[in-house]
Amino acid sequence: MTGIWGIVNVTPDSFSDGGRYFDVDRAVAHGLRLRAAGATVLDVGGESTRPGAERVGSAEEQARVLPVIEQLAAAGAPVSIDTINASTAAAAVRAGARIVNDVSGGLGDPEMRAAVAESGADFAIGHWRGFSADMYANAEYRRVAREVAGELQERMGEAAAAGIAPSRLILDPGIGFAKAGVQNWDVLRGLDEIVALGPRVLIGTSRKRFLAEVLAQADENVSEVRRDLATAVTSALAARAGVWAVRVHDVAATRDALAIAHAWDGV
Ligand code: PMM
């Protein structure tokens, strides 16, 4: 069965107004709802990685995520920490996270690989070519899926050299990261090249712009509901392409879509 990572963003724009404790309570309640809806992992993040997003300091990031991780882990939920910062990754694992989800694949912080190796956590490594502010300047490819697979293989080698066993790795081709529009479809069409690398594969299409670009052809205003439906479809197709897990906001919709895909396949 394909796993479902439920997204728990603890950022001011995702949980607006109210003080920090209010934010923590809401984030924990949201995570527990996602778990009840079928999430197999709760992916907690305190810094937006969206294109053009401002960086926040790691102290602020940790103040946002650590209390949420502690409570979700204490409730028995498998938790991952979505961060580019080694110090946040290490603190999150001490607070109960079992997976470090680094969209930069270890490139964003020179201390990350050593921190993960020492923590004993699993390591989800994304395909990445630079920080949010300038990521589209790096979106030059000849064969997208092949180049993404090649660069993920380099990240695997670096992780191995740091003492992280391949069995602890999860690969993510980084949909929307240094990839514009159709390049994301090229990656999805070539998912088998990523799956063939060996480790578990994670994919995150949820609500991303490349989906809205398709749906917007007749109508510029693409609602969250429509993006969630599109996400459920891409998640089901990704499941059939052999991914291990999908990372989504709307867990219930994707759970249903995966159930149908699995029924189709008789699993
Ligand atoms: N995308 C975002 C954040 N974290 N982590 C992984 N592993 N894969 C992704 O595609 C990914 C990620 C950006 O999306 P969000 O702002 O909606 O969380």
Tell me which of 129, 208, 227, 255 is the catalytic residue: 208
- What is the reported pLDDT for 12? 74
Catalytic residue list contains 208: yes
pLDDT tens, position by position, 186-245: 999 999 999 999 999 999 999 999 999 999 876 668 899 999 999 999 999 999 999 999
**Ligand 1 atom index nearest CA of 206:** 17
Token output for 173: 């081709």
Ligand 1 pocket test: which of 4, 13, 80, 82 has the largest number of ligand atoms within 8 Å of its C-beta?
Answer: 82
Sites in the chain below the pLDDT cut of 50: 15-18
Asked if residue 80 has its Cβ within 6 Å of ligand 1, the reply is no
- What is the reported pLDDT for 21? 58
On the 0-12 / 13-18 / 19+ scale of CB atoms within 10 A, 17 is: exposed
Q: How far is the CA of 78 from the centre of ligand 1 (A)?
A: 18
- What is the reported pLDDT for 17? 45
Catalytic residue list contains 200: no
